[in-house]
Amino acid sequence: MARTLLPGQTCRILLVDPASGRSEVVFENATTLVEAPNWSPDGRWLVVNGDGGLWRLPVEGVSAGSRVLTPVEMRGVAEINNDHVIAPDGSVVFVSARDGHLYEVPFDGGEGRRVTQDHPEGRGYKNYLHGVSPDGSTLSVIVGARPDAVAGPESWQTNVALVSVADGTTTFLTDDEHADDGAEFSPGGEWIWFTTERFTTAPGHSQLARMRVDGSELSQVTATDTVDWFPHPSPDDTMLLSLAFEAGTEGHPENRDVVLRILKLTDGAPTRRRRASCSCSSAARARST
């Protein structure tokens, strides 16, 4: 079931200047909870999810008061969750559906195509989409599943995988009991940034990591007291944006105060592992995705 606003809540989409932290509200409403804004490659649109569907919001050349959400038709696609990414050429949008599969749909709307293959029965497989390679051929995905058909729901595991857009072939980069999430390509396509609990014994204490696209050279990037989630490298590979919850948070719950942090990169890599605290670009109460 799609998420909804709580009584008295308002949903806003903001543009934030990473240098100054100044923000601009570009859309606001009190009826639909929209999430996960993604820029179109040409910078003219934001694509968001809401009410189980996909929506486009014009940004360039439209005044704030005139901006209206336009639904993206997705024929043949099950209700989606908050995960979607836009192909580098802007032709299609890839989405995660609540049936556990990934789909692609035309950017302007139309008939959807299922990307992922059928998984083995009995293990509750779900695919959660987070990134697309620079050439548009491969998706970076978190695959959730039970380790075997007889395991109970408490044994749910999440691992980083790559999925071929052409035929849905899935290649796992991690395959263990450590919780992983938020896998995203670097702008050059050589690295995968992600969130993981593999570096700590504290329940839920996620930190940021990266590895090469073949799963090698896995390394810890942050070592903070906060719970760090969802790394997003900038298109020029000079900074990494992430989200931080207060210490002791498990998962990425909604309706919590969170901080957006920027980690500077040199040649696409952190200049040093980040400890204690990072510079903040903004803070907000958010329904986290």
CA 129 to chain centre: 7
Q: What is the mean pLDDT of the chain?
A: 90
Nearest one of 54, 213, 209 to 135, comparing CA atoms? 213
Q: What is the mean pLDDT of residues 143-168?
A: 91
248 has pLDDT over 50:
yes
Q: Rounded to whole angstroms, how far apart are CA atoms 4 and 51? A: 7
> Would you state the structure tokens that stand for residue 42, as one six-digit string?
């040409």
Q: Is the pLDDT of residue 44 over 50?
A: yes
Q: Residue 122: pLDDT above 90?
A: no
Does residue 157 carry a pLDDT above 60? yes
Using CA atoms of 148, 149, 152, 154 in order, give the dihedral in degrees to the nearest 10. Answer: 40
Interval 145-173 mean pLDDT:
91
Q: Given this model, what pLDDT does residue 272 score? A: 61
d(CA 49, CA 51): 7
pTM: 0.91
Average pLDDT over residues 153-175: 94
> CB 212: neighbour CB atoms within 10 A?
14
**Polymer length in residues for the chain:** 289
Q: Is the model's pLDDT at 132 over the cut of 60?
A: yes
CA–CA separation, 38 vs 85, rounded Å? 7
Query: Is a pLDDT exceeding 50 seen at residue 277?
Result: no
Give the pLDDT confidence of 52-103 residue by residue, as tens digits: 999 999 998 777 778 899 999 999 999 999 899 999 999 999 999 999 999 9
Listed residue (18, 55, 39, 73) closest to 29, CA to CA: 55
Q: Are 221 and 232 in contact (CB under 8 A)?
A: no
SS3 66: helix
Which percentage of the chain shows pLDDT scores above 90? Answer: 76
- Is the separation of the CB atoms in 197 and 189 below 8 Å? no
Q: What is the structure's pLDDT at 255?
A: 87
What's the rounded Cα separation, in Å, for the pair 132 and 94? 9
